[in-house]
Amino acid sequence: MSEAQPTVDETAVGFDSFVRTRRADLWRAAWLLTGDRDKADDLVQTALGRTYGRYTVLANDAKFEAYVRTTIYRTYVSWWRRKWNAELPSDDLPDSPTTSADQAVSMDVVRALAALPKMQRAVMVLRFLEDRTVTEVAELLGIAEGTVKAHTSQGRAALRASLHLSEEERS
């Protein structure tokens, strides 16, 4: 006998629960990549919109989160390759989530990351802030492992030389 497929309502409830519990972590990853609150919001929203249909197919929230994160990183790479900057400023400031995870990364580190070229920034965030392996980073960004290693080396050298970081943060 085959399992009954979840209804649309059950899928929506499960997806909503996932978003409530994991949104802050997903947003933090997007913010570290983009360096901009609004673009981070857009990046997470785009990734969630693109992945919604796969929520029931991927058997659990851990698998779905990995899928969403992959979509975030690939969307980010796609956007900066197209020089995504078509946003217009708004007079209204949206409410933004503040978590202890946001405070764990100092503004100096964020400034130092912002000074890196976008691909180096993506590699550094994935390798050291998201604790991903070289292989995972290569798969997420769609680049060769050697390219990941090169960007890691160049990014580390740039961060060591950054005036934004103290001696303690550089090591």
Query: Whole-prediction pTM value?
Result: 0.57
C-beta separation of 32 from 105 below 8 A:
yes
| CATH of segment(s) 1-83 | 1.10.1740
Q: What is the pLDDT of residue 35?
A: 86
d(CA 23, CA 17): 10
How many angstroms separate the Cα of 166 from the Cα of each of 12, 108, 109, 142? 46, 9, 9, 33
CATH topology of domain 103-171: Arc Repressor Mutant, subunit A (1.10.10)
d(CA 96, CA 102): 11
Residue ranges of the domains in the chain? 1-83, 103-171
How many angstroms separate the Cα of 84 from the Cα of each of 77, 81, 88, 160, 170? 10, 8, 12, 28, 30
Question: At 87, is the secondary structure helix, strand, or coil?
Answer: coil
Q: What is the pLDDT of residue 118?
A: 87
Q: What is the pLDDT of residue 72?
A: 92
Q: How many CA atoms lie within 13 A of 82 on its CB side?
A: 8
Walk along the chain (171 residues) in steps of 10 and give the mean pLDDT of each run.
Answer: 57 84 92 89 93 85 90 86 57 53 65 87 88 90 92 90 68 53
- Of residues 92, 110, 91, 100, the one with CA closest to residue 40: 110
Q: What is the pLDDT of residue 169?
A: 54
Q: What is the pLDDT of residue 46?
A: 93
Q: How many CA atoms lie within 13 A of 106 on its CB side?
A: 9
Q: What is the pLDDT of residue 87?
A: 53
